[in-house]
Amino acid sequence: MSETTHPRVFIVDDHPLMLYGIQKVLEDRYDIIGSASEAAPAIEMILERDPDIVLLDVHFNGGGGSAVIEGVKGHNPATKFLAYTVSTSAEDVLRMFRAGVDG
């Protein structure tokens, strides 16, 4: 029998309800290996746990999504980042792409 492995996902969001909802939607198809609500702890845990994908909000304490991406990409450029936001600011999107977001 072959063993199926799910992609390992780490989530960064400072809104507990959003974090809970994302976890519930993904838990059957992905291994949720952790979450954080601030940039510094997120960077530390992502580097420690080495997820396949990091889902993150654009805005949260400690510099937001761009700070997390910049903090991880220098140590592990293979980590993939997918960002989400309710912001309509073009600058928010540009900041994420400058940091190295994958989508």
Q: Is residue 35 part of a domain?
A: yes
In the chain, how many domains are there?
Answer: 1
Is the pTM of the predicted complex or chain greater than 0.75? yes
CATH number for position 22: 3.40.50.2300
**Residue 2 covered by a domain:** no
Question: CA quadruple 18, 20, 26, 31: dihedral positive or negative?
Answer: positive
Q: Tell me, what's the pLDDT at 41?
A: 97
- Report which of 73, 66, 19, 74 is spatially closest to residue 39, judged by C-alpha positions: 66
List the one residue out of 65, 77, 79, 9 whose CA is nearest residue 37: 65
Phi and psi for 48 in degrees, rounded to 5?
Answer: -75, -40
Model pLDDT, residue 2: 46
Query: What is the chain's pLDDT, residue by residue, as a tens digit (103 residues)?
Result: 446 689 999 999 999 999 999 999 999 999 999 999 999 999 999 999 999 999 999 998 889 999 999 999 999 999 999 999 988 889 988 999 999 999 9
- Among the listed residues 20, 23, 24, 7, the one whose alpha carbon sits nearest the alpha carbon of residue 79: 7
Residue 1 has a pLDDT of 44
Q: Which residue segment(s) compose the domain that 51 sits in? A: 8-99
- Sign of the four-CA dihedral 67, 70, 76, 81: positive
- In this prediction, residue 88 carries a pLDDT of 86
